[in-house]
Amino acid sequence: MLLEVRDLKIRFNGRHSKVDAVKGISFSLDQGETLAIVGESGSGKSVTSMSLSRLLPPAPKCVVEGAALLDGENLLDYTEKQMRKVRGKRIAYVFQEPSTSLNPYFTVGAQIEEALRFHRDDVTDFKAETISLLEKVGIRDSSKRYGDYPHQMSGGMKQRVVIAMALACQPDILVADEPTTALDVTIEAQIIELLRELREKENMAIILITHNFGIVDGFADKVAVMYRGEIVEQGETKQVLASPKHEYTSALIRCIPQLGVKQRRLPVVDYSEIGKKEIAADA
């Protein structure tokens, strides 16, 4: 088992209030496997993924309990120095908005090279490796685009550059947190296709965080559905899609737009209907 998260709890302590953002969740990930964490805004998906690299504010503002075992070692017990060897190198992130991950004052080539210099002792020709990474993520004319600044690229291209930066570190786990939300639908499909290809070529495990069940089908091996800080259902994607056990999962699946099916408007999730109970087997 590459990653095993056990009874993870995350609490934010404000001056006047406390938020239990994650209430004891468990999941696991094997090498080369893809897990999708699906849920609506505020359900605790991002803080879960950020806790794995300890990117959350320190205690007492944010208290994280439980265990996140990477190859059997609990990341939550790591010192800051040990953690620096995990970030990027073992767990890398691609966030929603590529512009926030790129520095506008440096060329994309320089930014990928910086990641290589920091994380890879085996590379000697940084420029050549950068150009080959740009090619790998599907950027045409990569030797020319190497010298581009982020503003000279489209949103989809910038997200490809961010993915190249993540790949530069050869991570075991790539966390893609809503990687296509800021992009239009055709570009979304291309980025998901790129992640699918890379997973196979690089044998990376992927955690895809999304509110959109539509991009999970055919991409993720397993899915965990989060609702208000809890995983209400998890399992093989095909199984969950074919016969969801929880009302919230069914509601999310009903929101996937279907090609050829005319819908005046998307269904609305009716929260009054969502309890802890599972759907009856014959429902």
Which residues make up the interface to ligand ATP (CB under 6 A)?
Answer: 12, 19, 21, 39, 41-47, 57, 211
Nearest to ligand ATP of 191, 226 (CB atom): 226
Minimum CB–partner distance for residue 55 and ligand ATP (Å): 10
Give Cβ neighbours of residue 39 (< 8 Å, ≥ 6 apart).
45, 211, 225, 226, 227, 252
- Structure tokens, 114: 């910086």
Neighbour-count burial of 63, counting CB atoms closer than 10 A to its CB (0-12 exposed, 13-18 middle, 19+ buried): middle
- 134 touches 146 (CB < 8 A): yes
- Structure tokens, 108: 């994309």
Minimum CB–partner distance for residue 21 and ligand ATP (Å): 3
Give Cβ neighbours of residue 245 (< 8 Å, ≥ 6 apart).
233, 278, 279
Nearest to ligand ATP of 43, 101 (CB atom): 43
Minimum CB–partner distance for residue 155 and ligand ATP (Å): 18
Minimum CB–partner distance for residue 41 and ligand ATP (Å): 3
Nearest to ligand ATP of 23, 196 (CB atom): 23
Nearest to ligand ATP of 37, 253 (CB atom): 37
Minimum CB–partner distance for residue 211 and ligand ATP (Å): 6
Q: Is 195 helix (H, G, I), strand (E, B) or coil?
A: helix
Minimum CB–partner distance for residue 12 and ligand ATP (Å): 4
The Cβ of residue 238 has, within 10 Å, a number of other Cβ atoms equal to: 14
Nearest to ligand ATP of 62, 157 (CB atom): 62
Nearest to ligand ATP of 26, 107 (CB atom): 26
Backbone φ and ψ of 152, nearest 5°: -85, 0
Nearest to ligand ATP of 87, 211 (CB atom): 211
- Structure tokens, 231: 């995983």
Minimum CB–partner distance for residue 260 and ligand ATP (Å): 29
Cα radius of gyration rounded to whole Å, the chain? 20
CA–CA distances in Å: residue 140 to residues 134, 144, 198: 8, 9, 17
| CA atoms of 253 and 261, how far apart (whole Å) | 14
Nearest to ligand ATP of 27, 126 (CB atom): 27
Minimum CB–partner distance for residue 43 and ligand ATP (Å): 4
The Cβ of residue 82 has, within 10 Å, a number of other Cβ atoms equal to: 11
- For residue 150, is the peptide bond before it cis, meaning its omega torsion is within 30 degrees of 0? no
Give just the sign of the alpha carbon dihedral 55, 59, 63, 66: positive
